[in-house]
Amino acid sequence: MSSPIGVFDSGLGGLTVLRALRERLPDEDFLYFADTRYLPYGDRPEEFLRQRGQQVADALAAHGAKALVIACNTATAVAAETIRAHTVLPVVALEPGVKPAAVMTRNGVIGVLATTRTLESSRFQRLVDQHAQHVRVVAQGCPGLAEAIEVYGASSRQVEELLDAYVLPLAAAGADVVVLGCTHYPWAAEGIARRLPKETQLIDTGEAVARQLERVLQSAGLRGGGQGRLSLASSGPVAQVEETVARLWGERLPVAFWDWG
Ligand code: DGL
């Protein structure tokens, strides 16, 4: 029970999920892995993501994780089932908040911002078929956005230009609820909201994932036993990752380098 919960993403987008996890479960320890060498996952072939997901699950298990959170919509869309079949750890995955959006919309138009990989996945199609048949779903792929948020920062000129290209069409389509379907996008929530009418609601799934993780830990008898510790690791250049963590997370934390070939 005193083991950490392993959390991973292609980079540091999953820190937006980690923030919600730590708020809800302050007495758990967390071990976060940023697969920075392969950022962005959104541009990687599906087979690669499935193999990589299994390797990351193994690495987190080898470092003592008692459960696994896939804090990446793209990895979930493509590899969640493979990872679940591969690991003995309980796995919590996340997906774009299409279901709550379809309930919340007043005018019947919802926007979804996500990677192209996520939007093209059969899992996303299923989500829309099951929960959003009665509404219009405007799905907007956002190539380059997750990477630009990490590399240049959420208020950089590069991110502003991408937001013009990806968010303004949702405003034009009249979406009154917009789903942040990639864990990097909450870092740019202010810039996204600025391009939409004031009353537009943004949906971020961090809190829902935290509630689900709590339920899963409880039913597996794994809840509690930590002390709120946080460890970080990355497959990328750690000095640079530490800088990005300081900028996004607001705290300077050491990042261990993980490489398994
Ligand atoms: N943060 C990720 C997601 O939720 C992945 C972005 C990427 O690496 O392309 O989809």
Give the pLDDT confidence score for residue 216 in this predicted structure.
98
Q: Are 207 and 24 in contact (CB under 8 A)?
A: yes
Tens-place pLDDT, residues 111-123: 999 999 999 999 9
Residue 225 C-alpha to ligand 1 middle, in angstroms? Answer: 30
Using a 6 Å CB cutoff, which residues line ligand 1? 9-10, 13, 39-42, 72-74, 115, 118, 146, 182-184
Query: What are the distances in angstroms from CA 33 to CA 63, 129, 218, 260?
Result: 11, 32, 23, 13
d(CA 67, CA 54): 14
Distance in Å, CA 221 to ligand 1 centroid: 31
**Residue 142 annotated in active site:** no
| Amino acid at position 98, single letter | V
Reported confidence tier of residue 43, pLDDT bands at 50, 70, 90: confident
Query: Has residue 260 got a pLDDT over 90?
Result: no
Residue 2 pLDDT grade (very low, low, confident, very high; cuts 50, 70, 90):
confident
**Given 5, 135, 179, 182, the catalytic residue:** 182
Give the pLDDT confidence of 125-143 residue by residue, as tens digits: 999 999 999 999 999 999 9
Asked whether the predicted pLDDT for residue 88 surpasses 80, the reply is yes
Look up 182 and say whether it is catalytic. yes
The residue-averaged pLDDT of 57-80 equals 97
Q: How much is the average pLDDT of 5-9? A: 98
Band the pLDDT of 241: cuts 50, 70, 90: very high
List, in sequence order, every beta strand (DSSP E) within the chain: 5-9, 30-34, 67-70, 91-93, 109-114, 136-141, 177-180, 201-203, 230-234, 255-257
pLDDT at residue 1 above 70? no
Question: How far apart (Å, rounded) are the C-alpha atoms in residues 223 and 241?
Answer: 30
Predicted confidence at residue 261, as pLDDT, reads: 59
Catalytic residue among 25, 72, 75, 114: 72
In the chain, the domains with their CATH numbers are: 5-94+206-257 (3.40.50.1860), 98-203 (3.40.50.1860)
- pLDDT for 151: 95
Which of 38, 41, 244 for mutating ligand 1's site (highest number of atoms within 8 Å of CB)? 41
pLDDT digits (tens, 9 = 90+) for 136-185: 999 999 999 999 999 999 999 999 999 999 999 999 999 999 999 999 99
Q: Is the pTM of this model over 0.85?
A: yes
Q: Is the pLDDT of residue 52 over 90?
A: yes
Tens of pLDDT along 192-216? 999 999 999 999 999 999 999 999 9
Q: Tens of pLDDT along 18-41?
A: 999 999 999 999 999 999 999 999
Separation of alpha carbons 194 and 4, rounded Å: 37
